[in-house]
């Protein structure tokens, strides 16, 4: 009887030692907030992209554009994601027609990438409405971006709230900067549940 108990205990310890460790980190703190970033007003695409990282809510220097330190970038109305033609990371994006608060989880597959500089994951014009009389573009309501981050192991959801023009100057007058405001939730623990 003692032998049976001993071997049962030994098998239990061996089995628990072989269990896969979780890829999530329950002690990590999620980030939820509203962020405004400055983007060059650049219809001619001569400026570099403004690069953003969800994990610490920071704009990343363009000197790090060839790294996986950023998740997405914006230049005027063009978005890039850090993967394939967009960069060396493993980021991807899915755009859903949904309410931000209704998006409760991130898919584990089906993410789009920038396959070429002309074939972007986020299609130009898909997320905004342009008014040719005022030359103003406004984010469409009900568009939620779900990102897999450049490290390939974290998820974020984002909704663009507004794009505002900076002060006008020059002839003809035009802004030199745009202010993108968005809300987002970043899953620091690596889970897909928002």
The answer to whether residue 91 is domain-embedded is yes
The answer to whether residue 149 is domain-embedded is yes
Number of Cβ within a 10 Å radius of residue 170: 8
Q: Are 95 and 144 in contact (CB under 8 A)?
A: yes
The answer to whether residue 153 is domain-embedded is yes
Is the predicted pLDDT of residue 137 greater than 50, yes or no? Answer: yes
Tell me the HSE value of 35 on the side-chain side, using a 13 A CA sphere. 20
142 pLDDT band, cuts 50/70/90, is: very high
Residue with tokens 């597959």: 109
- With a CB cutoff of 8 Å and minimum separation 6, the contacts of 12 are none
Q: Are 65 and 152 in contact (CB under 8 A)?
A: no
Is the predicted pLDDT of residue 163 greater than 60, yes or no? Answer: yes
5-61 pLDDT tens trace? 333 433 443 434 443 333 556 567 899 999 999 999 888 899 999 999 999 999 999
Q: How many domains does the chain have?
A: 1
The answer to whether residue 154 is domain-embedded is yes
What's the rounded Cα separation, in Å, for the pair 168 and 179? 13
SS3 101: helix
Tokens for 123, please give them.
């299609």
Mean pLDDT of all residues belonging to the chain: 88
CA angle 151–85–90, rounded 5-degree value: 15
Q: Are 72 and 91 in contact (CB under 8 A)?
A: yes
* The pLDDT value given to residue 171: 87
* The pLDDT value given to residue 26: 59
Q: pTM for this structure?
A: 0.84
The answer to whether residue 85 is domain-embedded is yes
Q: What is the DSSP letter of 176?
A: S
The answer to whether residue 15 is domain-embedded is no
What's the rounded Cα separation, in Å, for the pair 81 and 120? 8
Task: Pick the range with the lowest mean pLDDT from 60-69, 126-135, 160-169.
Answer: 126-135
Which domain covers residue 132, as residue numbers?
24-187
104-135 pLDDT tens trace? 999 999 999 999 989 999 999 999 998 888 87
The answer to whether residue 66 is domain-embedded is yes
Q: What is the 3-state secondary structure (H, E, C) of 6-44?
A: HHHHHHHHHHHHHCCCCCCCCCCCCEEEEEEEEEECCCC
């Amino acid at each position: 009887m003692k032998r049976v108990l001993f071997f049962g205990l030994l098998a239990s310890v061996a089995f628990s030692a072989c269990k896969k460790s979780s890829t999530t980190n329950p002690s990590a703190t999620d980030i939820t907030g509203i962020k405004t970033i400055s983007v060059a007003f650049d219809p001619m695409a001569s400026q570099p992209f403004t690069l953003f990282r969800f994990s610490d809510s920071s704009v990343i220097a363009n000197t790090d554009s060839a790294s996986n330190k950023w998740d997405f970038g914006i230049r005027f109305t063009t978005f890039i994601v850090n993967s394939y033609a967009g960069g060396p990371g493993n980021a991807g994006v899915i755009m859903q027609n949904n309410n931000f608060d209704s998006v409760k989880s991130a898919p584990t597959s089906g993410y789009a990438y920038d396959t070429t500089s002309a074939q972007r994951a986020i299609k130009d014009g898909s997320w905004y409405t342009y008014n040719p009389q005022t030359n103003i573009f406004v984010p469409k309501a009900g568009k939620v971006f779900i990102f897999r981050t450049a490290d390939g192991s974290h998820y974020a959801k984002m909704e663009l709230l507004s794009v505002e023009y900076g002060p006008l100057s020059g002839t003809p007058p035009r802004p030199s900067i745009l202010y993108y405001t968005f809300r987002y939730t970043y899953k620091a623990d690596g889970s897909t549940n928002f």
